[in-house]
Chains A and B, each alone.
Chain A
Amino acid sequence: MTQYAENITAEIVKEHGLSTDEYQVILDRVGRAPNIVELGIFSVMWSEHCSYKSSRLHLGKLPTKGDKVIQGPGENAGVIDIGDGQAAIFKMESHNHPSYIEPYQGAATGVGGILRDVFTMGARPIALMNALRFGAPDHAKTRQLVDGVVAGIGGYGNCVGVPTVGGETNFHAGYNGNILVNAMAVGLADADKIFYARGAEPGQPIVYVGSKTGRDGIHGATMASAEFDDDSAEKRPTVQVGDPFTEKKLIEACLELMATDAIAAIQDMGAAGLTSSSVEMADKGGIGIELNMDKVPQRETNMSTYEMMLSESQERMLVIMKPGREDVAMRIFEKWELDVAVIGRTTDSKRMVLTHKGETVCDIPIAPLADDAPKYDRPWHAPEVRAQITARDVAKPGHMGEILLKLMGSPDMASKAWIWSQYDRHVMADTVASSQDPSDAAIVRIHGTDKALAITTDCTPRYCQADPYEGGKQAVAEAWRNLTAAGADPIAITDCLNFGNPERREIMGQFVGCIAGMAEACTKLDFPVVSGNVSLYNETNGAAIPPTPAIGGVGLIPDIDKRGQFGGLKDGDILLLVGETIGAMGASIYLKEIEGREDGGSPHVDLAAEKANGDFVRGQIRSGRLTACHDLSDGGLACAAADMALASKIGIKLAHEGDVPMHGFLFGEDQARYLIAAKTEDAIAILQDAKADDIPIQVVGLGGGSAITVNGAHNLELSRLRNAWEGWLPGLMSKLVVAAE
């Protein structure tokens, strides 16, 4: 057999990101040397981004089943049962590489892509979230990236009319060369009207709808599967350009079409566009496909099959219709002034056959593209175990109020209002609590009911760096805790696993460790994974990002009048701390900001305590006794109290006693804890309930005054705290930018 087809060289194969071994497999499966179109199709389908070749082996360890799971991983998004015949459909996805190269369009198309994953399945999108990680605040590119990414997320989400209701933002030098932009979308559908990529049969028409195909984004999936170097800016043409106006029309047109019962299968064109959408539907249906490339709506002239198959032009969908129903799609899409064309049909050949200008330009078996994609058991080693650090190992500071001021005005803790005030959080008129309103999770009412979804995104990369296993556990546990503190029953998660180059053993070790920790937490908390995404090769010139498995959690609040929030603290309310405090300081915000250290082990997550304490707090929220409720995370008790005081516009008098040193009591990051507040008589009842349930609880202070104090001293006036907390990000973004690379 000839090694290479005409005009193909070893160099061209390498440029397509295919290893020698992988190329040999292609030769074997195709039975001849592939031409350039076929090579391009294999290259994108077998890219890390599309095939999960380094991660699949380990992803299988995550629990994906549960009473409420209608659809787990493997479809466009996960689906959970939320009662009353309705389902929530959600997924989180990364758009890291494009957002670094071209922040506005990279972030915007990340939002567009994740929305399509959700409405492809028949859901009306009702909420957007985002988890962002930027480099050090003083790094030369950070401000420009923050500005562009936030404008891009807002520009797309605001126009398309889906509220952006929450998220998280971190800054760390580890992201200087690779920012993370993870977008999550949540949609609502009738549980019996969900659309899948599977379900196509031979002899059905294939209909292309949405925008025309251009030359943008060619090889985007391949770019997202490689490291960056000094020439990465040259990859700018591989970034796609978003058009939220078309997306809005596409949502309405698709939902209108889905109401007609004319669809056999549907898939959005995301990474690797026409290639992956057609291959996935054919593979899942066990069928073949024939496409006539002349029929593909084209934005530019003289496009080759190679370009059309690899383009990542946005706002496009591929629909396999029931035979004879093409006219239904034509009528609806023409009404919405969108392109629509029948471009082929399904066959029983199990092959992908493409014709262009009368010639067959591709004829390959489908199965190897999807199911036979490479799957690697990459070698890995676990990181060294770090020593635990408690407050006893850390010098005691003098004035606790000044420490709290510094922490609350630090990059990770400071208010992110500068970001979320640029997002429309209220469109669709169901946002009960967003990042503007004080709750640990975003709360979006289910339209026309008094039920609501609680939504959160969480990850503490410091912990994952210190101990991938505990960090993976903690990310899941914190998502569960945030939903609980909002008064929700946590149901399921989506994940977005951001790591460096998996071909390096220590990076693969981080990945394996985080997955093991996540799996443990998901199992113990009955919080399965229903969808997700893996983003590897987040490295520049050999420097990897901190391991960042972002978790998107979704829960259900049965009655929005019984939800948790932390803006209701009143004068004289008793503050109670639920959960055990030992004063864990390893990898804490305190060490980073006050001592300038990032060492120490991650705090231990006791999942049994997590479950028991959370169930207790949720019960108290629903009893109506709590005036305020906040989970403890970064910065411990003092920072949770500061959040509560700022949101409630009233001071807090903290009282410290016992064996844990004061700075450990205030700033330790022990897990499974909540700060709750209630009137005196209710607090007594709560203490009695806790005793009966064997839940650790202690009185830690009361609401009142205009400052945060500890044992009557360490005074920090709220006005000063508010200035520091609100002022940091606007201050950063308004600095004169001095260009320096």
Chain B
Amino acid sequence: MKSAVIVFPGSNCDRDAHDAIKRVTGQAPAMVWHQETALPEGTQFVMLPGGFSYGDYLRCGAMASHSAIMPAIIAHAATGAPILGVCNGFQVLTECGLLPGALMRNAQLKFICEDTAITVTNSNTRFTSRYAANAKLTIPIAHHDGNYFADTETLIRIENEGQVAFRYGANPNGSANDIAGLMNEQGNVLGMMPHPERAVDAKHGGTDGLALFESLLGSA
């Protein structure tokens, strides 16, 4: 599977994303600088990594969502190709409109880094097919702004459409409906605050994130 990781100024999980994708797919992803205007020929999977693009200045993900590369990513999403945004990548996806809602400051107003228990809410997606239904996972989080918010109608709609991919056990940040990971209506764009790329190695963070990348490999 041909993959690409987008690198914004201030991205800091780009290397982790690169290594996780390479570990699962056996193929190193292209590292695409934000000033590019097109994805490399033949790219299938695109990952927007975590970090602090533009220092989180203005609003997390806001400036990155206006990068030169973003029109190409939005067009790529429209083709139905898989796109994963983790942490800051999730924030970029909501800012650019590929996903509904917004990520606000954590309810207790502090940065939180911890191993978090999440549940696979929908295992019938291209991101989660290798997980058992309602599987319980432990995946690390590390964010200051992961408090998912959407208006009531949106929440009802995304719940009815099965767009919630992951839900927190003990909600760490105040997210509406305990939402930890959310897909678009078509099911090809996933944003999540927990870091699956930090959970692909038994010697670091466990292996509960592996199946997410393996699911993608099977679907692409």
Interface residues in chain A, defined as those with a beta carbon under 8 Å from any beta carbon in chain B: 151, 154-155, 158-161, 243-246, 248-249, 336-337, 420-432, 436, 445, 560
CB of B16 within 8 A of CB of A244, answer: no
CB of A426 within 8 A of CB of B55, answer: no
CB of B10 within 8 A of CB of A429, answer: no
* Complex Cα–Cα for A154 and B204 (A): 21
Looking at the complex, which one of B56, B111, B112, B142 makes contact with A427 (CB distance below 8 Å)?
B142
Interface residues as binary, B36-69 with A (CB distance below 8 Å gives 1, 0 otherwise):
0000000000000011101111000000000000
Interface residues as binary, B142-178 with A (CB distance below 8 Å gives 1, 0 otherwise):
1010000000000000000000000000000000000
CB of B52 within 8 A of CB of A421, answer: no
- Of residues 1 through 52 on chain B, the ones whose CB sits less than 8 Å from some CB of chain A are 9-10, 12-13, 15-16, 19-20, 50-52
CB of A425 within 8 A of CB of B113, answer: yes
Closest to A424 in B: B142
CB of B12 within 8 A of CB of A426, answer: no
Residues of A within 8 A of B55 (CB): 159, 243-246, 248
* Given A245-B54, A421-B114, A445-B203, CB of A427 within 8 Å of CB of B16: yes
CB of B111 within 8 A of CB of A158, answer: yes
CB of B112 within 8 A of CB of A421, answer: yes
Interface-forming stretch among B73-81, B118-126, B194-202? B194-202
Looking at the complex, which one of B54, B114, B142, B204 makes contact with A158 (CB distance below 8 Å)?
B142
B140 in the interface, Cβ–Cβ < 8 Å?
yes
CB of A158 within 8 A of CB of B205, answer: no
What is the minimal beta-carbon distance from A570 to any residue of chain B, in angstroms? 20
* Complex Cα–Cα for A426 and B141 (A): 9
Residues of A within 8 A of B113 (CB): 158, 420-426
Residues of A within 8 A of B52 (CB): 158-159, 161, 244-245, 248
Closest to A422 in B: B111
Residues of A within 8 A of B201 (CB): 429
CB of A430 within 8 A of CB of B54, answer: no
* Given A245-B54, A248-B10, CB of A422 within 8 Å of CB of B203: no
CB of B13 within 8 A of CB of A161, answer: yes
Residues of A within 8 A of B50 (CB): 427
Interface size class of B (residues with CB under 8 A): 20 to 34
* Complex Cα–Cα for A347 and B114 (A): 54
Residues of A within 8 A of B19 (CB): 429
CB of A161 within 8 A of CB of B195, answer: no
* Complex Cα–Cα for A426 and B112 (A): 12
Residues of B within 8 A of A249 (CB): 9-10
* Given A422-B111, A422-B112, CB of A160 within 8 Å of CB of B12: yes
CB of A337 within 8 A of CB of B9, answer: yes
Closest to A561 in B: B203
CB of A161 within 8 A of CB of B51, answer: yes
* Complex Cα–Cα for A430 and B15 (A): 11
A-B contact pairs, 10 of them (CB 8 A): A158-B142, A243-B55, A245-B56, A248-B9, A248-B55, A420-B113, A421-B114, A425-B142, A426-B142, A436-B114
Closest to B15 in A: A428
What is the minimal beta-carbon distance from B38 to any residue of chain A, in angstroms? 18
Closest to A154 in B: B111
CB of B111 within 8 A of CB of A426, answer: no
What is the minimal beta-carbon distance from A494 to any residue of chain B, in angstroms? 25
Residues of B within 8 A of A243 (CB): 55
The number of inter-chain residue pairs (CB within 8 angstroms) is: 87
Residues of A within 8 A of B204 (CB): 426, 429-432, 445
What is the minimal beta-carbon distance from B57 to any residue of chain A, in angstroms? 7
* Given A159-B55, A425-B113, CB of A248 within 8 Å of CB of B195: no
Having A421-B112, A424-B111, one finds 5 other A-B pairs with CB under 8 Å, namely A245-B10, A245-B55, A337-B9, A428-B15, A431-B204
Which 9 pairs show the lowest CB-CB distances between chains A and B?
Answer: A161-B12, A245-B55, A159-B52, A424-B142, A429-B16, A422-B111, A424-B113, A426-B198, A154-B111
Closest to B140 in A: A426
* Complex Cα–Cα for A445 and B203 (A): 9
What is the minimal beta-carbon distance from B211 to any residue of chain A, in angstroms? 17
Closest to A448 in B: B19
* Given A159-B52, A161-B12, A337-B9, CB of A429 within 8 Å of CB of B112: no
* Complex Cα–Cα for A462 and B169 (A): 43
Residues of A within 8 A of B57 (CB): 245
CB of A336 within 8 A of CB of B9, answer: yes
* Given A424-B142, A429-B198, CB of A159 within 8 Å of CB of B9: no
Closest to B172 in A: A421
Residues of B within 8 A of A159 (CB): 10, 12, 52, 55-56
CB of B110 within 8 A of CB of A422, answer: yes
* Complex Cα–Cα for A429 and B198 (A): 6
* Complex Cα–Cα for A155 and B10 (A): 13
* Complex Cα–Cα for A421 and B12 (A): 19
* Complex Cα–Cα for A336 and B7 (A): 12
What is the minimal beta-carbon distance from A137 to any residue of chain B, in angstroms? 19
What is the minimal beta-carbon distance from B170 to any residue of chain A, in angstroms? 13
* Complex Cα–Cα for A245 and B140 (A): 23
* Complex Cα–Cα for A336 and B8 (A): 10
Residues of A within 8 A of B198 (CB): 426-427, 429
* Complex Cα–Cα for A336 and B52 (A): 15
* Given A154-B111, A245-B55, A248-B52, CB of A560 within 8 Å of CB of B9: no
Closest to B144 in A: A158
* Complex Cα–Cα for A337 and B55 (A): 13
* Complex Cα–Cα for A560 and B9 (A): 33
CB of B197 within 8 A of CB of A429, answer: yes
Closest to A437 in B: B115
CB of B15 within 8 A of CB of A426, answer: no
